[in-house]
Structure 1
Amino acid sequence: METMTTTTYAAAARARGLHKVYGEGETRVLALDDVSVEFPRGEFAAIMGPSGSGKSTLMHCMAGLDSVTSGSATIGDVELAGLKDKQLTRLRRDRIGFIFQAFNLMPTLTAMENITLPGDIAGRRPDRDWLARVVDAVGLADRLRHRPGQLSGGQQQRVACARALAGKPEIIFADEPTGNLDSHAGAEVLALLGSCVRDFGQSVVMVTHDPVAASHADRVVFLADGRIVDELRSPTADSVLDRMRRLDRVG
């Protein structure tokens, strides 16, 4: 029987001394340089930084979408390093939700079929009560039989949010979830992510370049040159923008 390495934990996700290197020799790039950070349970956190700072790399490494060069990344009590492919797939399926900028919906499936797709692939019967709560939260009860091409961008992203929520994940990783949306649709998605934390007790970690989006978070972590250089609690759009301007001047 397969086993997973466990650690004492109080965080939804944790990185310790994380390094990520791409390439070798002259093409070597140090994307993450000794990063240590925790994302507590029940927190909405944002990761920000200049282009090339390593923010998406950090999220991908902590979510098990990319391997680390050295250091450790854990989801709850599970250390990701050394997990076999099947274990990692099961962990991502059962404990993590993902939301991406490009929605990643199947165009031939209805909204409801997209929402339940991960569970269907895993052969799991949906929790109907939970699914009803999720559908109510995203406000798409009257659009569930529509295919993505019949939905607006904001509606498609709300379907993607519902898909991430449907499996009752402990933590949701969102990579630029409002990047393809107008300000109104983006605000709806951010409000939904906030309700995931407040109403469902989940944790959200969002990569964004938008100070307004980041202001919806409880805490913002700032990266520059692959290192964590600052953090801000109870952010406002202005305070986030001010920190980003300082980072740009230093860079």
Structure 2
Amino acid sequence: MTTLTDHLSGPGNGQQGTAVSARGLQKNYGRGETTVAALRNVDIDFDAGRFTAIMGPSGSGKSTLMHCLAGLDTVDSGNIMLGGTDITKLNDSQLTALRRDRIGFIFQAFNLVPTLTAEQNITLPVALANGKVDPEWFGFVTSTLGLTDRLGHRPHQLSGGQQQRVAVARALLTRPEVIFADEPTGNLDSRVGAEVLGMLRRSSQEMGQSIIMVTHDPIAASYADRVVLLSDGQLAGELSNPTPQTVLAALAQLGA
């Protein structure tokens, strides 16, 4: 019988060490008296093969940090290493290739193409890269996520939970080094949200996938191995093996 372990191969799986690290990150918005410091000299490491949540009050810099780590936004100073690559030294075309080939994304709004089937949405990143889909891995990912009988459906024919599962499958298909998830359950009810979070945790624990998730939800954060706390653009602590209660208590101390 095929198991998850049988599929642990590729750059995103079975990793050891650090998936992403950042040193001295500074990011400002605006100029002069209107300048807002979104990140203030942030030093942080994210272990490979682990599920990490980033949390903090509104305006704490958590989304900015994730967007910079993922190469979606630039920093004013500091360095970000993805594996052995300093992404702060890459130009736009190099960043585009890095995001396409080495990073997976899961967004709150799913970001599915409405005219494409579920299968076409899942394989879209591979098609855009003129690559070839590994049929065994595709079948494994889609069956694990319960999508086998939905592959011919377009997004409007799928429930919210099914659409997000398609987005998760799309992110996993290329075996990326890191998956960045931005409020992945924000548009889902609690039952379906728990299902998606359970899949993310399983992909980390059993597939060795590195996941970095921004969330405001203590319950969502409790699915992670670690919670990183931000306040006013600075690191404000972290939690290991979080529970909803310990996350709520930590956020209360930050005034969230």
Q: Is the 8 A contact 1:97 1:173 kept in 2?
A: yes
Q: Which of 204, 210, 213 pairs up with 1:197?
A: 204
Q: List structure 1 runs of 4+ shifted beyond 4 angstroms.
A: none
- For the pair 1:123 / 2:104, whether they are aligned, the reply is no
Supply the RMSD in Å over aligned alpha carbons: 1.1
Q: Separation in 1 of the partners of 2:161 and 2:17?
A: 34
- After superposition, the C-alpha distances for 1:145-172 in whole angstroms (9 at most, x for unaligned) are 1100011111101100001111110110
Counterpart residue number, 2:27: 20
Counterpart residue number, 1:174: 181
Percent identity over the alignment is 61
- For the pair 1:96 / 2:103, whether they are aligned, the reply is yes
Where do 1:27-176 residues align within 5 Å? 27-176=34-183
Q: Is the 8 A contact 1:173 1:204 kept in 2?
A: yes
Q: Is the 8 A contact 1:40 1:203 kept in 2?
A: yes
Q: Separation in 2 of the partners of 1:69 and 1:102?
A: 28
Normalising to structure 2: TM-score of the pair? 0.92
- After superposition, the C-alpha distances for 1:119-162 in whole angstroms (9 at most, x for unaligned) are 10111011111111110121111111110001111110110000
Q: Separation in 2 of the partners of 1:156 and 1:10?
A: 32
Report how far residue 10 of structure 1 moved: 3.1
Q: Is the 8 A contact 1:10 1:76 kept in 2?
A: no
Q: Separation in 2 of the partners of 1:26 and 1:101?
A: 33
Counterpart residue number, 2:195: 188
Q: Separation in 2 of the partners of 1:27 and 1:195?
A: 44
Counterpart residue number, 1:229: 236
Q: Separation in 2 of the partners of 1:150 and 1:245?
A: 41
Tell me the matched-pair count: 241
Q: Separation in 2 of the partners of 1:84 and 1:128?
A: 33
Normalising to structure 1: TM-score of the pair? 0.94
Q: Separation in 2 of the partners of 1:92 and 1:196?
A: 20
Q: Separation in 2 of the partners of 1:82 and 1:41?
A: 22
Counterpart residue number, 1:3: none
Report how far residue 195 of structure 1 moved: 1.3
Q: Separation in 1 of the partners of 2:113 and 2:35?
A: 36
Report how far residue 26 of structure 1 moved: 2.2
Letter of the structure 1 residue corresponding to residue 210 of structure 2: S
Report how far residue 211 of structure 1 moved: 0.2
